[in-house]
Structure 1
Amino acid sequence: MCDVKNEITQIQITFRKWPRSKKIVLISLLSSIGAIFQSAGGFLPGIGYFISPVATAPIILCSIFSIPLGLASYVLTAHLLLILQPSELIIFPFTTGLLGLMIGSSFHFFRKKISYTLSGSAGLTIGIFLLLYGVKFPVLGPAVSHQISVSVIGLIILFSIFYSWIWVLLSTRILKRIKRII
């Protein structure tokens, strides 16, 4: 578990040495990739819905490099979605993007994978609750009512933990490959 933190620290140190222009180009490219993945659901009905969750990865990477640049990538991706696929704009900031931002930022503050998982899970759960119960947007489809239900809340929390755990595992594997490249 400490290995992950050491790898992240080495990647962050190397990233800090990069010129500002190189950082901006990388964040812009990752944000563009994130926007393309997120908008896949609208451009490719069916299979695109399986591609759109991958939009979390670029946000996680940007946030791991630097929290302010991760936030910039989150905002830039949202702005690009406004142009590419406005219908995805309500989903991204509250689910996919927020999950990536929370997991990537947690790598700066915590040392254990469980902390990364719970941080991402908390962000995703709050985002889904805000969409489902605050805005009354059917983020989980028409089968789930806007009425507060203990069973639905429990299922959302369990799903968020599982989904966040998957992204933490994928992120740590991606980081090992990035470390070799950098």
Structure 2
Amino acid sequence: MRFIKWTVKVFKKKHEITVGPYTKNMKLVVGSLLGAIAAILQSAGLMGGIGYAFSIMATGPIVLSTIISIRIGLLTYAVTTLLLIILQPSEVLVFLFTTGVLGISLGIGFKLYNTGTVVSLMGGTFLTAGILILLYLFQFPVLGPLVSSKVSGTVGLGVFLFGLFYSWIWMNLCIVGMKHLNKVMVRKLLIEKDESSCR
């Protein structure tokens, strides 16, 4: 009985994420910076080893920009893609269908839904779809050379479970990240107001 109550409580838990008082110009500037950061992080994947750890972090900037504004998030996603075409073309497909699409789906989930479970489910579903599209449609070995590009229900289920878990981790990381970003932006606005009042 306690387990059922705990499960219901977890599923109903709200993420309580909020967006600070961003002006239109600030949204554009923050979105551009986050797009550049995402492109640099995604490009690090080709270094191998620790580069992969940096590469998976490219999801974060996309989520944060989408939480600020869905429009800014989509623009950041597009800008990051264009930068990757210039910097590291081999990473474009991976970004478009994995790290990038996870960021967009989580950001939109945060904007549309109040519960963290729904946000995680949305992110996990889109990430699973992206990985399977890469694997089966583009024949891109996104899961490594050992996983066959032939359609498999077992692989699909495994990818979905991994996608849900990975999405849940990113959802919690982004809640923390958004709180810090809001603090920085509010502090910046207060400083600008103080400077303008002194003139």
After TM superposition, the score normalised by the length of structure 1 is 0.91
Q: Separation in 2 of the partners of 1:35 and 1:27?
A: 12
| Contact 2:66–2:72 (8 Å) recurs in 1 | yes
Q: How does 1:1-182 map to 2 (within 5 A)?
A: 1-2=13-14, 4-5=15-16, 7-8=17-18, 11=19, 14-15=21-22, 18=23, 20-42=24-46, 44-181=47-184, 182=186
Distance (whole Å) between structure 2 residues aligned to residue 167 and residue 119 of structure 1: 12
RMSD: 1.2
Q: For 2:66, give the aligned amino acid.
A: S
SS of structure 2 residue aligned to 1:94: helix
Instruction: Calculate percent identity across the aligned residue pairs.
Output: 43
Residue by residue, what CA displacement relative to the aligned partner does 1:11-39 show, whole Å, maximum 9, x if unpaired? 25x12xx1x33222211111000000000
Query: Does structure 1 conserve the Cα–Cα contact (< 8 Å) formed by 2:27 and 2:68?
Result: no
Secondary structure of the corresponding residue to residue 92 of structure 1: helix
Q: Deviation per CA, 1:46-76: give whole Å up to 9, x if none.
A: 2101110000000000000000110000010
Q: Deviation of residue 45 (structure 1)? A: 2.2
Structure 1 residue 175: deviation in Å? 2.1
Contact 2:44/2:55 (CA < 8 Å) preserved in 1?
yes
Count, aligned residues: 173
